[in-house]
Amino acid sequence: MRNTPFLLLLLVSCALVAGCGVRFRDPEPGNEFFKSATVSGDLRVGATLTGAVTVAQTYSIVVPITCELRQGKTLVKTIGSEQIAALPGGTPKSTPVAAHYSYPFTVEQAGLYKFECYTTKDEDNFVIREFTVRPS
């Protein structure tokens, strides 16, 4: 019975953490503008890969996006960019208009990479997909 106070404290702590909405996994990718990013193809050095991004436009302004290949914080290369057309009369509450863009690219060295897309209009609007490239 000496462990009873310890067990009670442990149970109360678990209940408090669960009740506070703490999550022990990564959040889903995407945000109000970027909905998803994927990398497909044979993940080997020199193979053609495809980086794809899906956006949901609700803004009445043109939104420029850029997609890059990164290793950590280091820019390896720019993969593609688009000017997402303005939604006439768009507001944050408008029904989103989805668009999907794909960019072919290759990787010259094995390692862990990031396919990252962002908009220069708002640096908090981005999406990242990590992937590993194996030797050929």
Q: How far apart are CA 55 and CA 31, in angstroms?
A: 9
Cα dihedral sign, 75-31-42-44: positive
Residue 42 pLDDT: 97
**pLDDT above 90 as % of the chain:** 66
What is the rounded CA–CA span in Å between residue 82 and residue 20?
Answer: 40
Distance CA 113, CA 73 (A): 10
Give the model's pLDDT for residue 6.
53
Question: What average pLDDT does this structure show over 89-116?
Answer: 95
The pLDDT tens digits for 80-89 are 999 999 999 9
In this structure, what DSSP letter does residue 32 have? S
The larger pLDDT score, comparing residue 119 to residue 8, is at 119
Q: What pLDDT shows up at residue 7? A: 52
Running DSSP on this structure, what letter comes out for residue 2? Answer: T
Identify the pLDDT of residue 92: 82
The yes-or-no verdict on residue 93 having pLDDT over 90 is: no
Query: What domains lie within the chain, and their CATH numbers?
Result: 29-133 (2.60.40.10)
Averaged confidence pLDDT in the chain? 85
In this prediction, residue 63 carries a pLDDT of 94
pLDDT at 100 (0 to 100): 97
C-alpha to C-alpha distances, 19 to 22, 28, 41, 95, nearest whole angstrom: 8, 21, 42, 33
pLDDT of residue 87: 94
Question: Residue 18's pLDDT is what?
Answer: 47
Q: What is the mean pLDDT of residues 115-134?
A: 92
